[in-house]
């Protein structure tokens, strides 16, 4: 018998097709097509044939490879598959001898008998869940074989949305799909899209990292790694605006190094840089969490202390910073002697706080400290100057 021919008498289907490994496919005319299972497998590598007794009669080569189909042959369909997706409402059919499969209250009633699958065949679309791999589903079309479906149900299946998982789980290749099947092409497109998206995400991360690095560099003093003037002015504007609206108060301490020019002139710029780095370290160690230290230029530094502080607390901190600045510093065997003059302003003394005015007053208090003999801390509110 040829691999493919027209079968004029559909009434002789039954045992003849089963014994010869052939399946009759109903046509629109009164005739039927008779295909060998080999040819059907080449055309539909994921077909599944279940007879009227609910047993698996044949499977396409891809489905057989993925599911160890040889061991499933002649076994009950319901031992390996569940009709419907995980979210579908499926209830068991209680009929034993005859099928009473219907749709009741939105729930499908299906039994273990092969006749129950004819209900699916009438709907054409079928969804199956693999009991051995419940995370992977199958979808496709179902057809009744023979008059009134007496030869069972034929399903043409695919992995659908689960293609990637199925290929990885069952080690499938392009050879496992029909030549006209676009499954692998779609998988290649999906993989290509995934690679492109990965590259785009990586590029976005690199650009974002470069942007953040550039922003950080633009706001950081290159020598001391403290905030630079631009960053300090922005932080001060934010603190002033917050305090003006009833937010947390803050304190500014301006620090001018004493005798730093002498270190630079006599010991060289390398010694001067060493001193500036040591000052930055001291300020970092003396700050609380949430405070900000910045180098405003040259040997001038600024501390922004966020939160309420008493004048006594501020002066105590200023004295501690001065004491640490005056500690001996040695660079290449030569001592670098410096001190610090500190000027302090507190936002509570201004209604509302104004950035420019506070910076001017902090500078005034710093010069007052220098005029008082250097190495001391002056609170602007203590100066005998009229307030406007």
Crossing angle of helices 183-218/163-170, nearest 10°?
100
Per-residue pLDDT at 190:
65
Where does residue 83 rank: exposed (0-12), middle (13-18), buried (19+ CB within 10 A)? buried
pLDDT of residue 67: 83
**Exposed/middle/buried for residue 194 (C-beta within 10 Å: 0-12, 13-18, 19+):** exposed
pLDDT at 5: 37
Give the per-residue pLDDT at 337: 92
Domain ranges of the chain: 4-163, 229-382
Pairing of strands 339-346, 377-379: parallel
- Name the token pair of 202: 């990586």
Task: Please state, in angstroms and rounded to a whole number, the distance separating the CA atoms of residues 157 and 62.
Answer: 10
Tell me the fold of 229-382.
Answer: Alpha-Beta Plaits (3.30.70)
pLDDT of 19 reads: 43
229-382 matches 4-163 in CATH topology: no
Burial environment of residue 324 by CB neighbours within 10 A (0 to 12, 13 to 18, 19 or more): middle
Q: Can you give the pLDDT at residue 2?
A: 39
Residues 6+ apart with CB under 8 A from 23: 17, 34, 35, 37, 40, 49, 58, 145, 151, 154
Bridge-based pairing of strands 4-7 and 292-297 is unpaired
Sequence-ordered list of residues with C-beta below 8 angstroms from that of 174, at least 6 positions apart, any chain? 184
Per CATH, the number for 4-163 is: 3.30.450.260
Q: What is the DSSP string of 137-154?
A: EEEEEEEE-SGGGTT-EE
Helix (H) or strand (E) run with residue 164 in it:
helix 163-170
Strands across the sheet containing 137-144: 56-59, 47-50, 153-158, 137-144, 125-130, 81-83
At residue 78, the pLDDT reads 83
Half-sphere exposure of 43 (CA within 13 A, CB side): 11
pLDDT value for 22:
64
pLDDT value at residue 112: 55
Per-residue pLDDT of the chain (388 residues; tens, 9 = 90+): 333 333 333 333 333 344 456 666 655 444 455 567 777 877 888 899 888 888 888 888 888 888 877 888 888 888 888 887 544 555 555 554 455 555 444 445 555 566 667 767 666 788 888 888 888 888 888 888 877 778 888 888 888 777 878 888 888 877 777 766 666 666 666 667 777 788 888 888 888 888 887 877 788 999 999 999 999 999 999 999 999 999 999 999 999 999 999 999 999 999 999 999 999 999 999 999 999 999 999 999 999 999 999 999 999 999 999 999 999 899 989 999 999 999 999 999 998 999 999 999 999 999 999 999 999 999 999 885 544 4
Cβ–Cβ < 8 Å for 380, 345: yes
Pairing of the two strands 153-158 and 137-144: antiparallel
Residue 136: per-residue pLDDT: 85
Tell me if the pTM is above 0.85: no
């Amino acid at each position: 018998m040829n691999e493919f021919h027209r079968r004029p008498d559909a009434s002789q289907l039954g045992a003849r097709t089963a014994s010869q490994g052939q399946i009759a496919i109903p046509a629109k005319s009164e005739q039927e097509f008779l295909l060998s299972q080999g040819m059907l497998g080449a055309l539909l590598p994921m077909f599944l044939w279940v007879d009227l007794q609910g047993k698996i009669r044949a499977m396409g080569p891809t489905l057989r490879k993925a599911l160890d189909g040889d061991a499933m042959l002649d076994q009950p369909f319901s031992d390996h598959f569940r009709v419907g997706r995980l979210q579908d409402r499926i209830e068991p059919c209680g009929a034993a001898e005859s099928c009473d499969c219907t749709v009741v209250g939105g729930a499908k009633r299906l039994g273990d008998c092969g006749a129950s699958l004819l209900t699916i065949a009438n709907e054409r679309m079928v969804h199956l869940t693999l009991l051995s791999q419940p995370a992977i589903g199958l979808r496709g079309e179902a057809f009744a074989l023979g008059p009134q479906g007496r030869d069972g149900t034929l399903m043409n299946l695919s992995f659908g949305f689960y293609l990637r998982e199925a290929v990885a789980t069952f080690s499938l290749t392009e050879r496992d799909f029909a030549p006209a099947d676009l499954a692998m092409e779609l998988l290649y497109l999906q993989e290509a899209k995934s690679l492109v998206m990965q590259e785009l995400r990586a590029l976005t991360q690199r650009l974002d990292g470069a942007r953040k690095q550039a922003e950080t560099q633009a706001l950081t003093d290159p020598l001391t790694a403290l905030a630079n003037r631009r960053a300090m002015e922005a932080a001060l504007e934010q603190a002033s605006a917050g305090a003006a609206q009833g937010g947390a108060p803050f304190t500014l301490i301006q620090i001018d190094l004493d005798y730093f020019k002498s270190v630079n002139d006599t010991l060289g710029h390398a010694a001067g840089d060493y001193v500036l780095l040591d000052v930055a370290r001291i300020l970092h160690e003396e700050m609380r969490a949430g405070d900000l230290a910045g180098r405003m230029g040259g040997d001038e530094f600024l501390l922004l202390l966020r939160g309420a502080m008493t004048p006594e607390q501020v002066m105590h901190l200023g004295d501690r910073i001065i004491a640490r600045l005056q500690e001996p510093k040695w660079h290449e065997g030569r001592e670098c002697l410096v001190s610090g003059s500190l000027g302090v302003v507190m936002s509570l003394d201004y209604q509302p706080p104004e950035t420019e005015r506070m910076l001017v007053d902090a500078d005034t208090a710093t010069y007052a400290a220098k005029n008082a003999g250097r190495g001391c801390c002056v609170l602007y509110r203590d100066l005998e100057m009229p307030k406007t």
